[in-house]
Amino acid sequence: METLLLWLFYISTFYAFIPGIISRIFGYRVFRRGIGVKDFALTFDDGPDPQYTPKLLDLLNKYNAKATFFVVGSHAERYPELIRRMHAEGHLIGIHNYVHKSNWLMRPGTVCKQIQRTDDIIYGITGERSTYYRPPWGIVNLFDFSKRRHVKIVLWSAMFGDWRTNLGVDRLTEKMLARLNPGEVMLLHDCGLTLGADPEAPEQMLAALERTLEEAKVRGLNSIRVDEMIKAAEKSSLARMSFSKRLLVGLWLLWERCFHFLFRLRTVSPALPFLHYRLRAYQGHSVSLDDGTTLSKGDQVIELHIDNHQLFELGMQSRSAAQLAIRMIRRMDKDMPYLAEIIAGDDALSEAKALYGISMINRGPEKFGFTVKDMPKGLFASLTKFYLSILLSVIHPAGGARLKERSEALVPKIIVMPVSQLLDSYGQKCTGAKLHRRQAAGPEHEEDMAEAELPGAHAH
């Protein structure tokens, strides 16, 4: 009996658990997120539903938004007029199995039959085959990867728990707005009949979605179909990465999440994160500040960190080092006044002596009032240089070639600024500003800007 249980454990681990972890963390053979600067994707699972799907289609039509529906085959078979309407109104129709059952609980042949049967139903209604597939609950098994030539597995980058009514419209709206970013693939549900869901939950989803679409309109963001987002992503540098580099990026971004959790970083602009910070006691050597004071061990500092995910995306979207630097400078320029506003409104932060960070390649921070200082030689400096060298090779448009060209310049530096100087420089600019408005601005055309060096990747 123990041997049988052990074999079942091994089989379930290799059949389901490990493939699920690989796809979720590293995005192996699945699509989870796009790279657009103005587009995001709304995706809806479990429908169609005769009560809520027509309301959803009306709402999408009102805001000229296109979406992707991963339909349950048995529901599509029951309500063909809704599938016909989705197709006629320009939405993408994907497969969500014939019945809403986990792939972990089905043999590979059964999963294939579920997909084929649903595809046949969609084809019989619309005259078009579906090549996009989302397994129920996003759970993949080992053999799902082998079906890649026949269907494209689509997961998501943002999930909100909209299948439960206890969340409430306001909280759901808040969660959706916090993830209303370019490239996001949002998971929502237009049917509440799935096991574990509340039947009335889609009503709350529709109310929160309307608020979200209204805000997207203000920010100039558009909801597009997943196939359009995939085509854009396939043209990017990311799609041409080797698996080893994709693995490195996945590990790096996983470390980003762990670091944020462990050290409780806060974000200047949560809806479009770029600059993070935390209050801590300074532990380094004494540093002279521009205001004549000295930063000493034990003094409170506001430690700054640039968001690794945003840094990676900016690197992938940039055609040159100069363009990457310009985009980083512009993002930093938008966040600095709001950082000053946050500090001014927080007694603990305003009592800190200085802003502090570690930077690599150091033309740029002076623009914002930072002073660049050499790091004392030692183990920390060596480890920091090693980490930032890997970081730069990942996000820099020239990749590892940049390290060979300018290896002597890749020296980590301290960037530091008295908090009083930040408040004096930016305090008047941000008085009375509405924080959410900063999220409306998107990347501008950078080609007409003068060339600049990469201002630095801050160490985690």
Statement to judge: residues 228 and 299 lie in one domain: no
> Token digits for 453?
């060096």
Say if residue 251 is in the same domain as residue 212. Answer: no
The answer to whether position 459 is within a domain reads: no
**205: pLDDT confidence band, cut at 50, 70 and 90?**
very high
Give the active site residue among 91, 189, 458, 460: 189
C-alpha 375/C-alpha 380 separation (Å) is: 9
- Dump pLDDT digits (tens) for 65-78: 999 999 999 999 99
Classify residue 445: in a domain, yes or no.
no
| Same domain? 81 vs 123 | yes
Query: Do 203 and 185 have their domain in common?
Result: yes
Quote the pTM value.
Answer: 0.56
Q: Regarding beta strands 300-306 and 294-295, do their DSSP bridges make them parallel or antiparallel, or are they unpaired? A: unpaired
For residues 370 and 10, the model is more confident at: 370
Helix (H) or strand (E) holding 338: helix 321-344
pLDDT per residue as tens digits for the range 187-201 = 999 999 998 899 999
Listed residues 235, 265, 299: the one ending a domain: 235
Each residue of 438-455: pLDDT tens digit? 344 343 333 333 333 333
pLDDT the model gives residue 102: 80
Q: Which of 39, 45, 119, 162 is catalytic?
A: 45
Residue 306 CB coordination number (10 Å) = 24
Query: Looking at the structure, do residues 197 and 284 belong to the same domain, yes or no?
Result: no
Strands (E), 219-260: 222-223
**Both 19 and 57 in a single domain?**
yes
Q: Domain boundary residue among 202, 235, 268?
A: 235
My answer on whether 157 and 213 are in the same domain is: yes
Task: Write out the residue range of the structural domain in which residue 183 sits.
Answer: 2-235
Which amino acid appears at position 149 of this protein? Answer: R
Going by pLDDT thresholds of 50, 70 and 90, the confidence category of residue 365 is confident
Beta bridge partners of 132: 152
Residue 204 φ then ψ, to 5°: -70, -40
Asked, for residue 58, whether it belongs to a domain, the answer is: yes
Model pLDDT, residue 400 = 47
Residue 446 lies in a domain: no
d(CA 310, CA 313): 5
How many domains does the chain fold into?
2
Greatest mean pLDDT among 50-64, 305-319, 386-400:
50-64
Residue 30 in domain: yes
Beta strands in 157-224 (DSSP E): 158-159, 185-189, 222-223
State residue 251's pLDDT score.
76
Out of 75-79, 150-154, 244-248, least confident range: 244-248
Residue 447 lies in a domain: no
The answer to which of 171-185, 298-312, 323-337, 346-360 has the lowest mean pLDDT is 323-337
272 shares its domain with 415: yes
Q: Quick one: pLDDT at residue 177?
A: 96
CA dihedral 140, 142, 145, 150 (to 10 degrees): -90
Q: CA torsion sign, 376 to 379 to 383 to 386?
A: positive
Considering only CA atoms, which of 460, 351, 352, 458 is closest in space to residue 415?
458
Give a yes or no: residue 448 inside a domain: no
Range 399-406 average pLDDT: 46
Asked if 228 and 257 sit in the same domain, the reply is no
Structural domain contains residue 458:
no
| pLDDT tens, residue by residue, 83-136 | 999 999 999 999 999 999 887 778 878 888 999 999 999 999 999 999 999 999
Kindly state whether residues 188 and 102 are assigned to the same domain.
yes
Q: What is the CATH number of the domain that holds 183?
A: 3.20.20.370
pLDDT at residue 309 in the model: 74
Indicate whether 303 and 175 sit together in one domain: no
- Is residue 396 among the annotated active site residues? no
45 included as an active-site residue: yes
- Of 191, 217, 235, the residue at which a domain comes to its end is 235
- Tell me, yes or no, whether 316 and 221 share the same domain: no
